[in-house]
Amino acid sequence: MDALLTVTGLTKRFSSAGPPVIDRLTFAVQRGEIFALLGPSGCGKTTSLRLMAGFERADDGHIVLDGRVLSGPHTHVPPERRGMGLVFQDYALFPHLSVLDNVTFGLRGHTKNEQREKAARALRLVGLQGFEARTPHELSGGQQQRVAIARSLAPSPRLLLLDEPFSNLDALLRQNTRSEIRGVLKQEGITSVLVTHDQEEALSFADRVAVMRHGQIEQVGTPEEVYYQPRTLFVAQFLGRTNLLFSQAQGTEADTPLGRVHLSRDARGPVLLSLRPEHVTLDAAEAYPDRPHASVIAREFKGHDITFRVEMDGSEYLVHTHNRMDFQPGDRVALCPLEPAVVLESQQPPAAPLSGVTSAEAAAS
Ligand code: ATP
């Protein structure tokens, strides 16, 4: 693999008391890759980005871009000489300048002709040709953000840093803008680092996602890897809702409150398992006389699918099914796993019985 950016042992403290805000952060971003740093508020995402951009000085560690040390024990290359483009949540456009002048602003040092050519190309890439003469207040939020992205892309940066770039857009516009911008970055092969606290944004935008906690990376992988194969309880909970099962593993299977389930890997003894709501389905209790039975306590029809809440032995579980599942509150059901349960690395056994549903909100708290 050919890494463009390598970050090694990066450490930053704002005060001498307590643990560092960024704690030996280590990762590599391949050429042309979109890499996301995903984590809850306060885990150090923006600080990491500011260290990469050169707005903060690291206390320790290295940042190397294309073989050039930008940050090291005796090196701190200033932001304007790092060759990086930056896109922020609040667009940061000059309100009194036209779209064209906003985009050419980052191209000082080029001839007028070059500026015009590069700006026109960047605006074409983000679908804003014809908008050159407008000022930012004559544009929608999505268009303003695309101008900001065009401005960052115009000087052909080696690396694009994106800090929660879509969070000011409303839901539908956010989805459309992010899929268009992803298309542009992939088409142009622009290596990018996105920081976000939004799981869906990271999973849908990035080629790989690093899940951050307390200034460190807890797991890095493709969106599918981190979602389907979380290593830890924190990652399982932060990436979406999940059912947790504390049980005894016997090799490739375990006895759980839901009955016997297959495991994602061999394990023995007490284990903590994660089973996503869409990896379980419901069937009539009579069809499974040998499995433990549950009661449906709520049914939420959402058009494209249904979320059921079921109760078994005092614990609640979540099940997402297709939209034709007809069970109603009060029905007796069996829970049938569709996928192996994921064995989590639990650093310590949970203090309280941990079976039941948990959510991203719980992980973030
Ligand atoms: P959010 O998603 O809320 O923006 P984040 O993951 O980006 O959070 P950071 O902004 O990097 O988190 O902050 C990480 C920690 O460092 C927080 O506890 C924050 O209070 C602290 N911090 C950030 N900047 C400074 C600063 N200049 N001085 C002191 N502490 C800071």
- 61, burial (CB in 10 Å: exposed 0-12, middle 13-18, buried 19+): buried
Residues β-bridged to residue 69: 64
Q: 57-61, 164-168, 282-286: which range is least confident on average?
A: 164-168
Between strands 34-38 and 208-213, the pairing is parallel
Mutate to test the pocket of ligand 1, among 23, 45, 47, 55 (most ligand atoms within 8 A of CB): 47
What is the distance between the alpha carbons of residues 268 and 252, in angstroms, rounded to a whole number?
Answer: 9
Nearest alpha carbon, ligand 1 atom 19: 42
Going by pLDDT thresholds of 50, 70 and 90, the confidence category of residue 89 is: confident
Provide, rounded to the nearest whole percent, the portion of the chain with pLDDT above 90: 76
Segment 239-253, tens digit of pLDDT: 999 999 999 999 999
Nearest alpha carbon, ligand 1 atom 3: 41
CATH number, position 46: 3.40.50.300
Q: Is 46 in the pocket of ligand 1 (CB under 6 A)?
A: yes
Q: Is 21 in the pocket of ligand 1 (CB under 6 A)?
A: yes
Nearest alpha carbon, ligand 1 atom 20: 42
pLDDT averaged over every residue in the chain: 91
What's the confidence (pLDDT) of residue 90? 77
What is the distance between the alpha carbons of residues 129 and 326, in angstroms, rounded to a whole number?
Answer: 51
Structural domains in the chain (count) = 2
Quick one: 8 and 149 in the same domain? yes
Sign of CA dihedral 216, 222, 228, 231: negative
Quick one: 201 and 101 in the same domain? yes
Q: Is 25 in the pocket of ligand 1 (CB under 6 A)?
A: no
What strand order describes the sheet that includes 342-344? 342-344, 259-275, 242-256, 356-358
Q: Is 47 in the pocket of ligand 1 (CB under 6 A)?
A: yes
- End residue of a domain, out of 170, 201, 228: 228
Quick one: 44 and 117 in the same domain? yes
What is the distance between the alpha carbons of residues 72 and 76, in angstroms, rounded to a whole number?
Answer: 7
CA-wise closest residue to 311 among 290, 271, 282, 289? 282
- End residue of a domain, out of 228, 255, 281: 228
**Which tokens hold the place of 100?**
């064209």
Quick one: 178 and 306 in the same domain? no
Q: Is 197 in the pocket of ligand 1 (CB under 6 A)?
A: yes
What is the distance between the alpha carbons of residues 231 and 219, in angstroms, rounded to a whole number?
Answer: 7
Q: Is 226 in the pocket of ligand 1 (CB under 6 A)?
A: no
What's the confidence (pLDDT) of residue 1? 62
Distance 47 CA to ligand 1 centre (A): 6
Quick one: 106 and 57 in the same domain? yes
Nearest alpha carbon, ligand 1 atom 28: 14
Residues β-bridged to residue 48: none
Q: Where are the alpha helices (DSSP H) in 42-140?
A: 45-53, 99-104, 112-125
What's the confidence (pLDDT) of residue 281? 96
Quick one: 79 and 172 in the same domain? yes
pLDDT beyond 80 at 10 = yes
State the average pLDDT over residues 165-172: 82
Quick one: 34 and 156 in the same domain? yes
Enclosing domain of residue 261: 233-364
- End residue of a domain, out of 175, 202, 228: 228
CA-wise closest residue to 121 among 152, 145, 150? 150
Mutate to test the pocket of ligand 1, among 12, 21, 48 (most ligand atoms within 8 A of CB): 21
Mutate to test the pocket of ligand 1, among 10, 14, 168 (most ligand atoms within 8 A of CB): 14
What's the confidence (pLDDT) of residue 109? 82
Nearest alpha carbon, ligand 1 atom 16: 21
Residues β-bridged to residue 275: 243
State the average pLDDT over residues 214-237: 96
What's the confidence (pLDDT) of residue 358? 54
CATH number, position 357: 2.40.50.140
Quick one: 121 and 238 in the same domain? no
Distance 35 CA to ligand 1 centre (A): 20
Cβ 30 vs Cβ 16: under 8 Å: no
Mutate to test the pocket of ligand 1, among 45, 164, 201 (most ligand atoms within 8 A of CB): 45
**Which tokens hold the place of 39?**
């984590």
Quick one: 256 and 242 in the same domain? yes
Nearest alpha carbon, ligand 1 atom 26: 14
Quick one: 175 and 32 in the same domain? yes
Segment 22-54, tens digit of pLDDT: 999 999 999 999 999 999 999 999 999 999 999
Segment 170-217, tens digit of pLDDT: 887 888 888 989 999 999 999 999 999 999 999 999 999 999 999 999
Distance 25 CA to ligand 1 centre (A): 15
Cβ 267 vs Cβ 305: under 8 Å: no
pLDDT beyond 70 at 106 = yes
Quick one: 81 and 179 in the same domain? yes
What's the confidence (pLDDT) of residue 197? 95
Segment 112-156, tens digit of pLDDT: 898 999 999 999 988 898 999 999 999 988 889 899 999 999 998
Q: How far is CA 107 from CA 103, 163, 351, in A?
A: 8, 22, 58
Distance 238 CA to ligand 1 centre (A): 19
Segment 315-364, tens digit of pLDDT: 999 999 999 999 999 999 999 999 999 999 864 445 544 455 554 444 44
State the average pLDDT over residues 295-312: 96
pLDDT beyond 90 at 168 = no
Segment 241-294, tens digit of pLDDT: 999 999 999 999 999 989 999 999 999 999 999 999 999 999 999 999 989 999
Mutate to test the pocket of ligand 1, among 11, 12, 46 (most ligand atoms within 8 A of CB): 46
Quick one: 57 and 76 in the same domain? yes
